[in-house]
């Protein structure tokens, strides 16, 4: 195919002898990040000192949130960056079930573990029942308070129909929280258009924000006045520096903030997002589908291998293989500078980041895997 994103690879700090197919766990660093962090440490922190809080630091969670909002179909003022995905998920679920007379939380039975752990904690704290269910058989009822779904399954790469499932939840009066960790930066998402209630996601995978970079939380404007989150930290206050003993939440999305933002990591993420200024998500999606289809065609007939990622377009940008010796095989692939990852007991995951992965990467990964098998 005509690779309209080929030039974007030059913006990333990658070794040419490494095939990096683990961007679905940790994205590669854009070259501009190191210089930006140096500037933040040497100039903003080192020279401006505390003055930098009033020179752009304080507003960073909302400003960076707006940049991510553009990538997930959210108009300005609806995404805030800070905390971890787990913390933001706790906020979202608690806000969704507070003051409800409904009886249950429904969670994707194959959800990423932290989502399940947080959902169980919320259920225990609120007295609601927790019911795992497959996304194709949610069996939602008028007793369902909220549904928690992963847009892309972290193991198989399966992509869910966000519009259909959101409508299904709303049909019974339930809310829906979407986890976008494996889809943000991979494919076009339209949170506003689909009328999503709440969404969370990390920034260190396909958004390339760096290890442990702060997560994001989406709260649509129409829901902000009633977003009653449980972690009423000082930076979510309407007037944080008034130091009032009484808590009055900010009227906008800033009410989702909790504590002092992690500025160095936040601004590293801000620098990483610069690459998206030159990118059309439609091109990203087209290349991602082509890359994964190409890789799949090269590995699906290898001995002992089962491809469990959907063959149709209802997939994210990863290909997952099942093999009884997956752990050993991945270790040997990594020794040969082909980096994917292993998920117990028998899954090999290969994540394709269209901004920097190439068809040559796919060819080399498949050839190396074939040699090992």
Q: What is the residue-wise DSSP string for 154-167?
A: TTT-BBP-HHHHHH
Q: How far is CA 298 from the centre of its chain?
A: 28
Beta strands in 103-253 (DSSP E): 104-108, 129-133, 144-150, 175-179, 198-201, 216-218
Do the annotations mark residue 260 as ligand-binding?
yes
Q: What is the residue-wise DSSP string for 127-154?
A: T-EEEEE-GGG----TTEEEEEEESB-T
Catalytic, out of 112, 154, 216, 350: 112
89-to-194, 237, 368 alpha-carbon distances in Å:
20, 20, 39
Do the annotations mark residue 179 as ligand-binding?
yes
Do the annotations mark residue 234 as ligand-binding?
yes
179 is catalytic: yes
Q: Residue 237 and residue 325: Cα distance in Å, rounded?
A: 52
295 is catalytic: no
Catalytic, out of 205, 287, 296, 315: 205
51 is catalytic: no
The DSSP 8-state label assigned to residue 73 in this structure reads: T
Catalytic, out of 179, 197, 262, 361: 179
Q: Which of 205, 206, 212 shows the shortest CA–CA distance to 265?
A: 212
Could you tell me if 203 and 67 are in contact, meaning their C-beta atoms sit under 8 angstroms apart? no
Q: Residue 33 and residue 251: Cα distance in Å, rounded?
A: 33
Do the annotations mark residue 86 as ligand-binding?
yes
Strands 306-307 vs 175-179: parallel, antiparallel or unpaired = unpaired
204 is catalytic: yes
Q: Which of 190, 168, 153 shows the shortest CA–CA distance to 72?
A: 190
Q: Residue 231 and residue 300: Cα distance in Å, rounded?
A: 47
Count other C-beta atoms under 10 Å from residue 184's C-beta.
Answer: 24
Catalytic, out of 12, 20, 90, 204: 204
Do the annotations mark residue 144 as ligand-binding?
no
Do the annotations mark residue 85 as ligand-binding?
yes
Tokens representing residue 79 in the block: 């995404």
21-to-96, 154, 321, 360 alpha-carbon distances in Å:
36, 14, 13, 12
112 is catalytic: yes
Do the annotations mark residue 115 as ligand-binding?
yes
**Strand, helix or coil at 7?**
helix
Catalytic, out of 36, 91, 296, 349: 349
Do the annotations mark residue 206 as ligand-binding?
no
Tokens representing residue 329 in the block: 């095989």
Do the annotations mark residue 170 as ligand-binding?
no
Q: Residue 327 and residue 316: Cα distance in Å, rounded?
A: 23
- List residues with catalytic annotation: 112, 179, 204-205, 349
Bind-site residues for pyridoxal 5'-phosphate? 85-86, 112-115, 179, 182, 204, 234, 260
Bind-site residues? 85-86, 112-115, 179, 182, 204, 234, 260
């Amino acid at each position: 195919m005509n690779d309209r994103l080929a030039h974007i690879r030059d913006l990333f700090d990658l070794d040419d002898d490494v095939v990096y197919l683990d961007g679905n766990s940790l994205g590669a660093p854009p070259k501009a990040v190191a210089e930006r962090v140096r500037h933040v440490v040497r100039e903003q922190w080192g020279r401006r000192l505390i003055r930098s809080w009033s020179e752009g630091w304080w507003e960073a969670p909302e400003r960076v949130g707006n940049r991510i909002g553009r990538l997930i179909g959210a108009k300005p003022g609806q995404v805030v960056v800070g905390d971890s995905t787990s913390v933001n998920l706790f906020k979202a679920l608690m806000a969704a079930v507070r003051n409800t007379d409904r009886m249950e939380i429904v969670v994707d039975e194959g959800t990423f573990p932290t989502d399940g752990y947080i959902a169980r904690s919320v259920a225990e704290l609120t007295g609601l029942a927790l019911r795992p269910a497959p996304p194709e058989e949610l069996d939602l009822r008028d007793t369902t308070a909220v549904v928690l779904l992963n847009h892309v399954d972290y193991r198989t790469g399966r992509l869910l129909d966000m519009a259909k499932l959101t409508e299904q939840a709303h049909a019974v009066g339930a809310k829906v929280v979407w986890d976008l960790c494996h889809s943000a930066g991979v494919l076009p998402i339209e949170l506003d258009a689909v009328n999503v209630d709440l969404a969370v996601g990390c920034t260190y995978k396909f958004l390339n924000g760096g290890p442990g970079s702060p997560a994001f939380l989406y709260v649509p404007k129409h829901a902000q006045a009633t977003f009653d989150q449980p972690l009423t930290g000082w930076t979510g206050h309407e007037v944080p520096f008034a130091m009032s003993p009484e808590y009055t939440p900010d009227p906008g999305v800033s009410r989702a903030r909790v504590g002092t933002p992690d500025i160095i990591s936040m601004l590293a993420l801000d620098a990483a997002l610069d690459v998206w200024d030159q990118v059309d998500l439609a091109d990203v999606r087209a290349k991602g589908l082509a890359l994964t289809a190409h890789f799949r065609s090269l590995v699906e007939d290898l001995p002992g291998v089962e491809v469990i990622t959907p063959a149709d377009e209802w997939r994210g940008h990863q290909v997952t293989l099942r093999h009884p010796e997956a752990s050993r095989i991945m270790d040997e692939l990594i020794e040969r500078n082909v980096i994917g990852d292993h998920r117990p007991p028998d899954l090999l995951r290969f994540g394709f980041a269209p901004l920097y992965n190439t068809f040559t990467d796919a060819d080399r990964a498949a050839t190396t895997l074939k040699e090992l098998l």
